[in-house]
Chain A
Amino acid sequence: AVAAGLLKPTAAFASDRAAFDAKGVDAVMKAIKATGAADSKDIVVKAPDIAENGAVVPVEVTSNIAGTNSIAIIAEKNATPMVGEFELSNGATGYISTRIKLANTSNVRAVVKAGGKVFTAAKEVKVTIGGCGG
């Protein structure tokens, strides 16, 4: 682990940066060592049905899987789908909330690592051009 508050420019787990250049979901899953992740109903991906702003889409992931120690977020239709991976320790619960960019209507996928296993769930977010109204 990195010392509190003193992060070096060389990232904590720099080897995983490859995931950010990976094109396509499969390549990202491979890069974050999550290939074959099992679909899980114990992961809740909360995101709006329709994005208000594709540049700022709120995403909340809650993992009810015991021993959850990492949550990754993937925007499937982005040119480079990897959004981020969040490692949890010392009492941090299986919960991450952030805001992401979506280029198009896309699944937002969460990948959870717990007890050496990987699990996944997704929620589709629609990106529309807007206009009109009642």
Chain B
Amino acid sequence: MMLDSKQVLAGNAPSNFYDIPAFGNVSLMHITDTHAQLMPIYFREPSVNIGVGGAVGKVPHLVGDKLLKHFNIAPNSIDAHAFTYLNFEQAAKTYGKVGGFAHLKTLVDKVRASRPGSLLMDSGDTWQGSGTALWTKGQDMVDACIELGVNVMAPHWEFTQGAERVMEIVNGDFKKHGIDFIAQNVVTNDFGDQVFKPYVMKSVNGVQVAIIGQAFPYTPIANPRYMVPDWSFGIRDDGMQKWVDEARAKGAQIVVVLSHNGMDVDIKMASRVTGVDVIFGGHTHDGVPQPVPVKNAKGVTLVTNAGSNGKFLGVMDFDVKGGKIKGWKYRLVPVFSNLLAADKKMEALIKRVRKPYEAKLNEKLAITEGVLYRRGNFNGSWDQLIMDAMMKVKGADAAFSPGFRWGTSLLPGDTITMEHLLDQTATTYSFSTLTEMTGQTIKEVMEDVCDNLFNADPYYQQGGDMVRVGGITYALNPYEKMGKRISDLRLNGKPLAANKKYKVAGWAPVAEGATGTPIWDVVAEYLRSVKTVTPRKLNNPRLIGVKQNDPGIADYIASV
């Protein structure tokens, strides 16, 4: 393709970077977890993504050099920057920002032009993650997805707009524009009826393709249950098998699952449910260059995960002959906004939705001297900044910040605007809290969350990262059982007393009836007062049991 004039900024990007030769006769494009990022952004991949149980050292639990080596990606290349945290600051300056729906749209159109009839699927976490998505109740993203040409979607954070709003969009804009919102694992609380279409059948160049939807199974646990009071979720393997079998019986030649399970859960599901060709996954935000083949009783299922924040477009090409898949090719294509001209119509749409909010979004809060990022199992500099702000403003001994995997990155010297702060904090329940907790309760909370991340059985994993902990140092053994992973909790070097009460600041409580100043106001107050944010010292646990050479962890510095 023709590169635009910014090509010169793109370092050693090959000039044919977006020439993706077509293959076969059925193509499926996939985005996931864009978290409402309409504009190009920076996004640092994690340096800590530890696998447990059968997943130790396996995809997607590879970071840095180990990931490059596994997928045969050249070090210091543009792909190395896209898929790893390595040399983040310098490489981000060289290659520029990633994502942005106007640039994504250009790429989608280019792929569509070379692959007539191809479909675009979205694994969800699309209507949440920015100030404008919060203020427009997801409408900005609905409009952008219609313009992008999304055909099918499966949900997670969408539900935090509330059940009523979800139904309004599904039966309104989505229906009007022919976008299918699918989820086989969401049923009513009364008689267990399907809430959404479990799957859709699409004809792609004469080939019948069934797409089965899987919403995030633990939505009412990880997010406020009161937002979806009449619906029940869960993994529901048996339901999945039933719909696969039904779709096959109705003539599906390709069966895919559009999933928001998270990658480890998808890998386990692929080993149990038969007859699925590919799972297009999201939720765990793993940018996985090539699918993982998973054997089951009747064949092999490919499992993909397409990263987050609009940074990647997955392109799966199938060659189907005589009703059978004869071959496939998959690419997870990074979206570099300097290498893809902005689509004019999408650019205008984004400008229009942002216009009423520009002044608010652009408020300059402070300058950061260090990289600010979020991803990683235990802490990120953005999380640390949020906790430092909470402890200072609220006068707390300690702070908890949720292990959300969304949130964009900033480079040293960047101005932190209100928009950037909202990219880390914009949810429909971002109340800040100050709670007195005993040492024992603090440990119990940490153990509970830790089990949601490090339970050896993927079906017990909820896909976030460990709750970020400010003020309190601790040790953590990911391979222990619940109740035994966390130890050596200390405040200012002194062990926490089980019965003593500590003041703990937090935000985003899932309980009904919670109130409090929005967290972005708390952090903004702090940022305005400090003006300059010095590089954060991460409060990272001392790890026990993790091997020195575990490929899921690199450049890790424990704070004790």
Contacts and interface: CB of A to CB of B under 8 A. Distances in A.
A binds B: yes
Interface of A: 48-53, 56, 58, 126, 128-134
Contact of A133 (B189, B235, B462): B462
B232 interface: yes
B33 A134 contact: yes
Given A132-B462, A134-B262, A134-B405, A52 B220 contact: yes
Given A133-B403, A133-B463, 11 more contacts: A52-B234, A53-B225, A128-B448, A128-B451, A131-B449, A131-B509, A132-B464, A133-B223, A133-B464, A134-B404, A134-B462
B313 to A, nearest CB: 19
Contact of A132 (B125, B404, B460): B404
B403 to A, nearest CB: 5
29 contacts: A49-B459, A50-B460, A52-B220, A52-B225, A52-B233, A53-B225, A128-B448, A128-B451, A129-B445, A130-B221, A131-B402, A131-B467, A131-B508, A131-B509, A132-B402, A132-B403, A132-B404, A132-B452, A133-B156, A133-B157, A133-B216, A133-B223, A133-B403, A133-B462, A133-B464, A134-B33, A134-B262, A134-B406, A134-B464
B221 A52 contact: yes
In the complex, the 7 A-B pairs of residues with the closest C-beta atoms, listed nearest first: A132-B464, A133-B222, A134-B463, A134-B405, A52-B220, A130-B221, A133-B464
Measured as residues with beta carbon below 8 angstroms from the partner, the interface class of chain B is: 35 or more
Nearest to A53: B225
Interface string B257-294: 00000100000000000000000000111000000000
B224 to A, nearest CB: 9
B118 to A, nearest CB: 27
A28 to B, nearest CB: 26
B404 A133 contact: yes
Nearest to A46: B238
B23 interface: no
A129 B221 CA distance: 8
Nearest to A56: B189
Contacts of B262: 134
Contacts of A133: 156-157, 216, 218, 222-223, 402-405, 462-464
Contacts, number: 75
A128 B223 CA distance: 12
A39 B507 CA distance: 46
**Best-surrounded residue of A48, A126, A132 (most CB of chain B within 10 A):** A132
B343 to A, nearest CB: 28
Interface in B205-238: 216, 218, 220-223, 225, 232-235
B222 A130 contact: yes
Given A52-B233, A126-B460, A132 B222 contact: yes
Contacts of A134: 33, 125, 156, 262, 283-285, 404-406, 462-465
Contacts of B467: 131-132
Contacts of A50: 218, 221, 460
A113 B465 CA distance: 45
B373 to A, nearest CB: 16
Nearest to B400: A131
A132 B404 CA distance: 6
Interface string B394-421: 0000000011111000000000000000
Contact of B448 (A49, A51, A53, A129): A129
Contacts of A49: 235, 457, 459-460
B341 interface: no
Interface in B151-200: 156-157, 189
B463 A128 contact: no
A53 B230 CA distance: 12
A58 B233 CA distance: 11
B320 interface: no
A53 B220 contact: yes
B510 interface: yes
Contacts of B284: 134
A58 B451 contact: no
A52 B232 contact: yes
Nearest to B187: A58
Nearest to B33: A134
Contacts of B457: 49
B452 A128 contact: yes
Contacts of A48: 234
Interface in B447-477: 448-449, 451-452, 457, 459-460, 462-465, 467
**Best-surrounded residue of A49, A126, A134 (most CB of chain B within 10 A):** A134
A52 B449 CA distance: 15
A49 B233 CA distance: 12
A132 B465 contact: yes
Contacts of A130: 221-222, 510
B222 A131 contact: yes
Contacts of A129: 445, 448-449
Nearest to B218: A50
Nearest to A131: B510
A113 to B, nearest CB: 27
Contacts of B460: 49-50, 126
A50 B403 CA distance: 19
Interface in B461-499: 462-465, 467
Nearest to A105: B482
B444 to A, nearest CB: 8
Given A49-B460, A50-B460, A134-B404, A128 B232 contact: no
Contacts of B285: 134
B359 to A, nearest CB: 31
A112 to B, nearest CB: 21
Contacts of B445: 129
A118 B216 CA distance: 39
Interface string B113-148: 000000000000100000000000000000000000
